[in-house]
């Protein structure tokens, strides 16, 4: 199956903090359907597929008219799952869209995909969004990123970067976890050896930089609000935002 840009949504059923996460109901639709429908509005994607290891998720996607593929239950990361799914297609680029961000705006998918296509010196692209507030900046669950003057990643960290020695120059950006890869590099990426910084920070994308590759960082659209659902509290926040956006009581 030949496509230029393939969108893959990895969706694992067995979340430790929120079991059955892809099928959690959000105003009458399972979460994975919201992700799929938003991704399908992207102009850069030629095809969208859900990559899962669970028959229940597969059946739910087929039931709402989506496309899904079954993948191994043994993948250590979502990237490995995405790579297995992508290898069933003849595609030039692959975009990994997080299966637990039901509010993901199609525009950020377009922007990240387009940036990679237009950056022949990079093998990968991802996003960022400005953040402020000391509690948020110091939260080690919030991954920060800094870039060079050309918009390529210098470093990702759970710590606040840069250090505010001169606070007026310190601007902070959160990493937005949508990844675009050349298909060729995606297959290399899953085979790259772990690296000291990636293991120290527990951030898989750092091994790309440590192995000498470039990652383009793309600013998210204004008012970016795509909550990652990891807990029941996150789910309720997404439901609140969705109702507010759509005028639902």
Cα 80 from Cα 101, distance rounded (Å): 19
Distance CA 56, CA 246 (A): 28
How far CA 24 is from CA of 30, 51, 229, 230, in Å, comes to 5, 17, 10, 11
The pLDDT value recorded for residue 3 is 66
Residue 17 has a pLDDT of 80
Residue 224: pLDDT above 80? no
Closest C-alpha to 83, from 195, 4, 188: 188
In this prediction, residues 164-182 reach a mean pLDDT of: 94
pLDDT tens figures, 101-124 = 999 999 999 999 999 999 999 999
Checking if the pLDDT of 1 tops 70, the result is no
Q: Which pTM does this prediction carry?
A: 0.94
Instruction: Give tens-digit pLDDT for 68-81.
Output: 999 999 998 889 99
What is d(CA 165, CA 227) in angstroms, rounded to the nearest whole number?
31
- Average pLDDT of the chain? 94
* Buried-state track 76-110, b at ≥16 Cβ within 10 A, e below 16: eebbbbbbbbbeebebebbbbbbbbbbbbbbebbb
pLDDT score for 15: 76
Average pLDDT over residues 161-170: 92
Q: Indicate if the pLDDT at residue 196 is higher than 90.
A: yes
Angle, vertex CA 175, rays to CA 171 and CA 177, nearest 5: 165
Q: Are strands 90-96 and 29-30 parallel, antiparallel or unpaired?
A: unpaired
- Which residue intervals of 68-190 are DSSP H helices? 78-86, 106-117, 134-137, 183-189
At residue 167, the pLDDT reads 87
Report d(CA 21, CA 31) in Å as an integer: 8
pLDDT one-digit tens code per residue, 118-163: 999 999 999 999 998 999 899 999 999 999 999 999 999 999 999 9
Contacts of 193 (CB under 8 A, 6+ apart): 207
Residue 243 Cα to chain centre, angstroms: 23
pLDDT in tens, 11-70: 988 777 888 999 999 999 999 999 999 999 999 999 999 999 999 999 999 999 999 999
User: Does 204 or 16 have the greater pLDDT score?
Assistant: 204
Unique residue bearing structure tokens 């639902």: 248
Say what the pLDDT of residue 16 is. Answer: 74
d(CA 47, CA 53): 20
Query: CB of 215 within 8 A of CB of 176?
Result: no
């Amino acid at each position: 199956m030949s496509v230029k840009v393939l969108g893959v949504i990895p969706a694992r059923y067995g979340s430790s903090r929120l079991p059955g996460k892809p099928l959690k109901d959000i105003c009458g639709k399972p979460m994975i359907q919201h992700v799929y429908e938003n991704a399908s509005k992207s102009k850069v994607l030629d095809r969208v597929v859900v990559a899962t290891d669970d028959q229940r998720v597969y059946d739910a996607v087929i039931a709402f008219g989506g496309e899904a593929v079954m993948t191994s239950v043994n993948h250590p990361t979502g990237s490995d799952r995405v790579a297995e799914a992508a290898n069933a297609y003849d595609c030039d680029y692959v975009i990994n869209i997080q299966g637990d961000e039901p509010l993901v705006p199609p525009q950020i998918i377009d922007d990240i995909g387009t940036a990679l296509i237009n950056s022949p010196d990079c093998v990968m692209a991802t996003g960022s969004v400005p953040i402020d507030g000391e509690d948020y900046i110091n939260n080690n669950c919030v991954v920060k990123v800094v870039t060079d003057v050309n918009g390529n990643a210098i470093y990702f960290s759970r710590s606040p970067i840069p250090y505010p020695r001169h606070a007026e120059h310190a601007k902070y950006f959160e990493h937005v976890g949508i990844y675009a890869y050349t298909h060729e590099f995606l297959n290399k990426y899953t085979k790259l050896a772990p690296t000291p910084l990636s293991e120290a920070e527990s951030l898989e994308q750092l091994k790309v930089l440590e192995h000498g590759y470039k990652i383009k960082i793309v600013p998210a659209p204004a008012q970016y609000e795509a909550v990652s659902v990891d807990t029941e509290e996150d789910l309720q926040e997404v439901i609140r935002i969705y109702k507010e956006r759509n005028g639902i009581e």
